[in-house]
Amino acid sequence: MEANINRESLIETLSLYTKVYHKHFSVESLSAGLPKELGKSDLELFSVKDSKSLFTRASLNAGLKSKLIEIDLHNISTLQLPMILLLSSKESCIIDSLSEDKSRAKIITSDNQDILEQWVNLDELNKNYLGFSYMIKKIYKYENEQTNTLKIDQKHWFFSTIKLSKNIYKDVFLASILINLFILATPLFTMSVYDRVIPNNSIETLTVFAVGVLVVYIIDFISKYIRSTLLEVAAKKSDVIISSIIFEKVMDIKMSSFPSSVGSFANNLKDFDTLRSFFTNSTLTALIDFPFAILFLSVIYYIGGNIVIVPLTTIVILLIFALLIKGPIQKYIEELHQVSAQKSSIIVESLQNIETLKTLGMSSHMQWSWEETVGQSASIGLKSRILSSLIPNVTSFFMQLNSVLVVVYGVFLIKDFELTMGGLIAVVILTSRVLAPMGQATGLITNYEDAKTSYKIIDDIINLPSERAEASKYVEYPSFEGDIEFKNVSFAYPGTDVLVLNDVSFSIKSGERVGIIGRIGSGKSTIEKLILRLYEPTEGTILLDGIDINQINPADLRRNIGYVSQEIQLFKGTLRDNIIYRASYASDEELKRSSKISGVEEFVKRHPLGFDMPIGERGTGISGGQKQAIGIARSFLYNVSIMLFDEPSNAMDQLTENNLINSFKKNLRGKTALVVTQKMSMLEVVERVIVMSEGRVYLDGKKADVIKALQGGKSA
């Protein structure tokens, strides 16, 4: 077994499965959107404790549905094949078929790009088999609309997740039935004592009743504890899944649909906390207990007859009050959400640009904006709280009034011998129990309106267009030669009608190094963003190796392109972390190689911690030139055929830039490279120059010819 089978990680086996039985998806496209710990070479797809593991999510990226089963190899049916077997050492393989006597299995693995098929003895295979397998099948169009794991149908992202805990809620409902039935114990016990025990001085009967009630109370305590625990378990499960759905969605939103205000957007994401808090133990308990009011009203009618009119009237009054107050509360809550989003926007914008605010003396302006927004928020919040405070006060008033009226009515019934003293006490206890969930329900109006607004906000986020909305439509391309072609491409950024690119056409051959120059706002950087599919052309087509890039999975596309943006963003952590984010499993040799190419090596040598030197949030403590060097190191971590640079040296000193130019001349050989720059010195690394002007290609040709034309007075 050890010598005969090439075993692979689970994500590699899934990729092989798609290649053999479905439509090939690369490891990168299957992994897109899945959580991965920095520094680990492979995704942890398998979890015995969780049937909705990362493998389920990875298979959904390929349009496949999977199910984890625990099965003995000798019990596998041919109808279940092919399936993926989980082996020891976090490895796996595909079992394609069985021999007629079920003594041997046909195993499919791969050797580099080659597919290997071999027959192995089932007993030998069983030595490394963990006892778990994944059954996989294709999701057809009608099924795709009903899938409800982490790729839940967007219309039901919330309720489908809640549905995953339906078995838990069934147990909760059964426990609630017991709990509400046991509520009858106290009033019935009290009535029996007053009507039977006291008049007859029956101590034996009292003892029996007391023991019976004590047993009921013990079972009631256990039932409440179980119900509370089950609700917390269900809430935790939903919290984890929905939080993952929301964050995965945020990471997958098309740039063209991404909200312009980061602060407001972050505040909107916090609305999930409001939604989650609404479905807490107390809320769900009140909602579950509410229908049992009918049972208690029936018992009241059985004991006291028409006295049931009093609590019924109180319930109707409280419902009318709830309906009247619902509209104004909803209005204030929506206004408060808008102002809160504005507050978050001001905070984030101020913190991100604190240096600029200080140097330009704009702190006072931001302070004014903050105080205006806080004042508006406080005013709306005050109105909302005053209105909300009416709810418990009104509810408490009518509940107290209800108790008085029940007693008064009961006295007259006792006078007419239609009710006993014990019956009156039982009715008083039961009416308070009937109105308790009603009082809670009325008090939940504010929370409900808040949760409803939060749900709508999160739902709007979930329904934003995704980059990987239809992963199954992509064709898998493991690598590219590097031919790039723009055909009549026009583009305007979202929210504006101004064309940044206007009918742009050019072609770049594989291995060609091209510089793109032009005035600010001429569309240079936009060209590279369109190649990366961060945005989509308004008109026209972009081809990569003759293939429309819309056919290529964004994960595969970006995996095969090295990109250095104009503004390098760094994250809190170490220098090593900030370089290998692109390829967390990169070796030390690859890290050193990319650092040498980019110039990072120079300041790493001078720091006592080397690659473990700390980096602050947004790269605090690192110079602009060093940030650019780190960005360049990221781009060279993968050995890819296409390199895109956007002003790669605009923050570097002359000596560092010269070293970078020499490094580029050596390391960009054979690669397709686009260098957007305002510096003529950077054109040393290119062979051809494209001049952009007002969104159009103004000049395009050999470097020497274009420079000569520009020096001759031809201005862009």
Strands (E) located in 30-113: 64-70, 83-87, 91-98, 104-111
Phi (first) and psi of residue 472, to 5 degrees: -70, -15
Report the alpha-carbon distance of residue 105 to residue 126 in Å, rounded.
11
Find the mean pLDDT for residues 88-98: 82
Q: How many CB atoms lie within 10 A of CB 11?
A: 21
Q: Would the pTM count as exceeding 0.85?
A: no
Structure confidence by residue, pLDDT tens digits, 361-396: 777 888 888 888 888 888 888 888 888 788 888 888
**Stretch 603-618: mean pLDDT:** 84
Amino acid residing at 315: I
Residues 395-414, mean pLDDT to the nearest whole number = 89
Give domain 475-711's CATH superfamily: P-loop containing nucleotide triphosphate hydrolases (3.40.50.300)
Q: What is the maximum span of the chain, computed from C-alpha positions, in angstroms?
A: 122
Question: What is the signed CA dihedral for 422, 426, 428, 430, rounded to 10 degrees?
Answer: -170
Going from N- to C-terminal start, the domains of the chain cover 10-151, 156-462, 475-711
Give the pLDDT score at 205.
86
- What is d(CA 687, CA 702) in angstroms, rounded to the nearest whole number? 6
CA distance 21 to 66: 14
Model confidence at 270: pLDDT above 80: no
339 pLDDT more than 60: yes
CA separation for the pair 54, 241 (Å, rounded): 12
Q: Is the peptide bond prior to 82 cis by the omega test (within 30 degrees of 0)?
A: yes
Considering only the top CATH level, what class is 10-151? alpha beta
**Superfamily of structural domain 156-462:** ABC transporter type 1, transmembrane domain (1.20.1560.10)
Residue 106 CB neighbours (<10 A): 16
Summarised one tens digit per residue, pLDDT across range 134-169 is 888 776 544 444 444 444 444 467 777 778 788 888
Distance CA 298, CA 430 (A): 10
DSSP state for residue 47 in the 8-state scheme: -
Q: Can you say whether the dihedral through the CA atoms of 446, 449, 450, 451 is positive or negative?
A: positive
Q: What are phi and psi of 167, to 5 degrees?
A: -65, -35
Which is more confident, 587 or 371?
371
Beta-strand relationship, 672-676 and 642-646: parallel
φ, ψ of residue 574 to 5 degrees: the values are -105, 170
Q: Is the confidence at residue 4, as pLDDT, over 80?
A: no
CB half-sphere exposure, 395, CA atoms < 13 A: 21
pLDDT in the model for residue 650: 86
The single residue listed with the structure tokens 């075993």 is 7
Mean pLDDT, rounded, of the chain: 82
Residue 643: per-residue pLDDT: 93
Beta bridge partners of 86: 92
- Predicted pLDDT at 715: 56
- Partners of residue 401 on adjacent β-strands: none
